Structure 1
Amino acid sequence: MAFAPGQVILHRNTRRGRIAFARPVRVVSDTSLGLLVWMARHTPVMYEVAADGRGARGRPFAEWVTLPYEHRPGEWQGAGILMLFPPEADHSVWWFWTDEGVFDGWYVNLEERVVRWADGDLAGVDVIDQDLDVVVRPDRTWEWKDEDEFAERLAFPDHYWATDEQAIRAEGRRVIKIVEAGEFPFDGTWTDFVPDPSWELPELPDGWDRPATR
């Protein structure tokens, strides 16, 4: 299943079949390098939260798993992000910029490989975020991110959506080798990216909550 440049699709993170977030993104390209999408500032997002409005972060996981969930709307508040979903890979790579448009580094989001779907006029990709990430600075120095959160949640295998710690860490180490070698996509490609000025901010479409593909 291929997506067309300029097409608006849904990027969704799922947790054991629940929708953790859903947000519309714009397809930049869909080639042998992977699916490249753009998420603009103020993109509407639907988040899974507890009744008090807080998400899974910022509270003990032991508490989170006992709470009822609901979805509430919000917006992406940061600068625009470019996201690449490489083919047959258990991660995505995100490009970050400052508010002034200066490239600010990459983010390796470790996740189960993307699953594409289409349902009539609606289409998108579903992932399962595995929480452990790698932050890569513009000079390609790097560090692990959210190791404490990852370790805490692994202690709850009946509730956690990531299960294979060693495989997740191995994927991170594999990408780190690519970072250190300065190979694509960490070779400067797209660090000067500018979105098409004709792209309007997409709306969150009806059907964003269709059943998860996993």
Structure 2
Amino acid sequence: MAYDPGSQAGPHPGPQASPPPASGAAPAGPFVPGGFVPGEVVVHRSFTTKRLVFVRAGHVVGHDERGLRLWIPHGCPMAVELSTDGRGLRDMPFAEWIRQSTVLVTRPWPGPNILMLIPPAGAHSVWWFWDRQGRFARWYINLEAPAVAWRYDGLVGVDTTDHDLDLWVCPDRTWQWKDEHELAERLAFPEHYWVTDAAAVRAEGERLLRLVEARAFPFDGTWCDFQPDPSWRTPDTLPPGWDRPRAPGTTETGPR
């Protein structure tokens, strides 16, 4: 599951209607290099196939043949799906979660600063984490559906579906799987779960681990000294349109 340091109340429901034609939308990956401008505000959104469940606003860092890079700072506006009593997906068994009524709740992102690399192809993204002193702490491999980038009505966004299984990678390239138990628990509910091929998810993680162990890009030290442009101003709230329907072009299929 995508890194989530916790939840807090403050509901903001979002629509789930079919999307209108996305005039000027960027194509589904592979991304066209240069399609996004450094400093642009972007919403990075996660869906459980059909339903929006997690959003953070950040800035475009760069966009080239290596992929799209985003800066997601501590304190940026976010939205997360919670049950109506304020609990999150990780606060209860999945068998209980699927019976809950839910709302999207807005709040500041309480987690660390993140540099996120969304590759031009592949079912993952790679995140760089820093500690409170600004020192590089570790990488995080988020296993997810290939991202769909879009522009609509002046808004820039990236949509994906989280595949729950992830990897921590330390600066010395030691690593460990994360959330294996969550994946195993949820696979028992195929009529509700958005991951349909657990073997493919793990294979993608193993492919990335070969790069880790070879100290190959992006685990070769690139961007470990990254500093965001001091002129960037993080918005106080999510921009209008953050809860618009999922962009067309995704290959995800499944329940919910």
Smaller-chain TM-score range? over 0.9
Alignment of structure 1 residues 60-139 onto 2, 5 Å? 60-139=93-172
Q: Which amino acid aligns with 1:190?
A: W
Tell me the residue number matched to 1:179: 212
Q: Which amino acid aligns with 2:44?
A: H
- How far has the Cα of 1:79 moved from its partner? 2.5
- How far has the Cα of 1:120 moved from its partner? 1.2
1:17 aligned onto 2:73: no
Q: Which amino acid aligns with 1:126?
A: D
Q: Distance in 1 between matches of 2:84 and 2:163?
A: 24
Q: Which amino acid aligns with 1:130?
A: H
- Structure with the bigger RCO (C-alpha within 8 Å, sep 6+) is 2
Q: Which amino acid aligns with 2:91?
A: G
Tell me the residue number matched to 2:64: 31
Tell me the residue number matched to 2:238: 204
1:192 aligned onto 2:225: yes
Q: Which amino acid aligns with 2:53?
A: A
Give me the TM-score of the superposition, normalised by structure 1. Answer: 0.98
Query: Which of structure 1's runs of 4+ aligned residues deviate more than 2 A?
Result: none
- How far has the Cα of 1:9 moved from its partner? 1.1
SS of the aligned residue for 1:174 comes to helix
Q: Distance in 1 between matches of 2:45 and 2:131?
A: 24
Q: Distance in 2 between matches of 1:79 and 1:141?
A: 21
Q: Distance in 2 between matches of 1:40 and 1:16?
A: 26
Q: Distance in 2 between matches of 1:89 and 1:129?
A: 13
Percent identity reads 52
Q: Which has the higher strand share?
A: 1
Tell me the residue number matched to 1:3: 36
Q: Distance in 1 between matches of 2:49 and 2:216?
A: 34
- How far has the Cα of 1:167 moved from its partner? 0.5
Give CA deviations for 1:116-151 in whole Å, capped at 9, x if unaligned.
111110120001000000100010110100000110
Q: Distance in 2 between matches of 1:147 and 1:58?
A: 16
Give CA deviations for 1:19-41 in whole Å, capped at 9, x if unaligned.
11112110000100000000111
- How far has the Cα of 1:78 moved from its partner? 2.3
Cα RMSD (Å) of the superposition? 0.9
- How far has the Cα of 1:74 moved from its partner? 1.2
Q: Distance in 1 between matches of 2:205 and 2:44?
A: 22
Q: Which amino acid aligns with 1:98?
A: D
SS of the aligned residue for 2:189 comes to coil
Q: Which amino acid aligns with 1:25?
A: G
Give CA deviations for 1:32-51 in whole Å, capped at 9, x if unaligned.
00000001110010111100
1:43 aligned onto 2:94: no
- How far has the Cα of 1:207 moved from its partner? 1.1
SS of the aligned residue for 1:205 comes to coil
Q: Distance in 2 between matches of 1:146 and 1:78?
A: 18
Task: Flag structure 2 segments of 5+ consecutive residues without an equivalent.
Answer: 1-25, 27-34, 251-256
Task: Flag structure 1 segments of 5+ consecutive residues without an equivalent.
Answer: none
